[in-house]
Amino acid sequence: DIQMTQSPSSLSASVGDRVTITCRASESISRFLSWYLQKPGKPPKLLIYGASTLQSGVPSRFSGSGSGTDFTLTISSLQPEDFATYYCQQSFGVPRTFGQGTKVEIK
C-alpha cells in the first residue's frame, strides 16, 4: 500500500497568515493527489485534485503543487472559515490512502 505522510500534524496560525502543509508519498504517485478540508461533524470537502487543480467553487487562496512523492497545499491568506483539518489522498493505487491529517488551529 502507498503510505501518505503529512506534516505538520497540527499548526497554529492567525487570520491572514500564509500556511503550507506538506504531504509525502511512500512511492511516486505522479500527480494523483487530492486535498480535502474537514470541519468537526461534517464530511470532507474536496479542495484540489490532480495535485494542483482547484475544485469548482473553492476560493483561489487555496493552491496545490508537487509531483512524484512530494506535495504541498498552500493557503495564501488564512480566513476564519479555514480553521479545520486537512487531508491529502492518493489515487494512484488501490487501496486509496489518506494522510493522517493536519489540524489548523487559531493562534
Partner 1 sequence: QVQLVESGGGLVTPGESLTLSCVASGFTFKNYYINWIRQAPGKGLEWVSHISFRNSYSFYTNYADSVKGRFTISRDDAKNSVYLQMTGLRGEDTAVYFCARQPDYSNAYFDYWGQGALVAVSS
The site for partner 1 (CB under 8 A) is made up of 1, 32, 34, 36, 38, 42-46, 49-50, 55, 87, 89, 91, 94-101
Q: In angstroms, rounded to a whole number, what is the distance separating the alpha carbons of residues 87 and 103?
A: 9
What's the min distance (Å) between Cβ of 19 and partner 1?
A: 19
- How many Cβ atoms sit within 10 Å of the Cβ of residue 66? 19
What's the min distance (Å) between Cβ of 15 and partner 1?
A: 26
Which residue's CB is nearer to partner 1, number 50 or number 77? 50
Q: Which three cell numbers stand for residue 72?
A: 504541498
Which residue's CB is nearer to partner 1, number 93 or number 106? 93
Of residues 98, 101, 107, the one with CA closest to residue 39: 101
Which residue's CB is nearer to partner 1, number 16 or number 95? 95
Which residue's CB is nearer to partner 1, number 84 or number 89? 89
CA distances from 2 to 34, 79, 93, 94, 103 (A): 14, 32, 7, 8, 22
What's the min distance (Å) between Cβ of 11 and partner 1?
A: 16
